[in-house]
Amino acid sequence: MQHDLFAPAAPAIPGLAFAEAFVTVEEEQALIAGIEGVALAPFRFQGWLGKRVTASFGWHYDFDRGQMGQAEPMPDWLLPVRDRAATFARLPAAALVQALLIRYDPGAGIGWHRDRPVFEHVVGLSLGVPATMRFRRRSAGGFERASVPLPPRSIYHLSGEVRHGWEHSIAPMDETRWSVTFRSLVAG
């Protein structure tokens, strides 16, 4: 199946764009090798250590202190895919100022959350194995729910309603998965 990489699929939720086969198998392997080549550390949240391991570039959000701080610049090997991700999201490349690299080892997922309010656009690449991104938002009768399959090498963009009005999560998986998430900062 052929896809126009820069024409997002019909969104299930306003503000959600998605495309399959954003990177090639070779590019995926190079990205995974790049992620494995940096110093990944367990995700920390208010003294708790998560099962996923991460590294941030550009900016880092410290969940123990509840504040942003500058991080090392994005490595050169990440810049070409950041530029393509920005084009997909219809943003200037320079707007994507933060990169979060994650390896989800078996049993690791990410619970229900919204990205921190200091971030605006969220553009993610899913690598290695298929996953499902789940969405929910509170309504009068409980929760509205939706889900989007994330095949390996796919990309998604969260903005507007889906970014600010919905939470998202990925259930723990049995196989190792990697992701690259680029974010912009809220203007102001």
pLDDT digits (tens, 9 = 90+) for 72-119: 999 999 999 999 999 999 999 999 999 999 999 999 888 898 888 888
CB 51 within 8 A of CB 105: yes
| Rounded average pLDDT over 25-40 | 96
Q: How confident is the model at residue 10 (pLDDT cuts 50, 70, 90)?
A: very low
Q: What is the DSSP letter of 2?
A: -
**Residue 62 vs residues 45, 134, 180: alpha-carbon distances, Å:** 8, 25, 18
Residue-level pLDDT at 49: 59
CB 131 within 8 A of CB 170: yes
Comparing 13-17, 41-45, 124-128, which segment has the lowest mean pLDDT?
41-45
CATH of the domain spanning 16-39+74-185:
2.60.120.590
DSSP string, 119-175: EEEEEEEEESS-EEEEEEEEETTEEEEEEEEE-TTEEEEE-HHHHHH-EEEE---SS
Instruction: Compute φ and ψ for 155, nearest 5 degrees.
Output: -135, 150
Global pTM reads 0.88
CB 70 within 8 A of CB 128: no
CA neighbor of 164 nearest in space, from 7, 12, 13, 6:
13
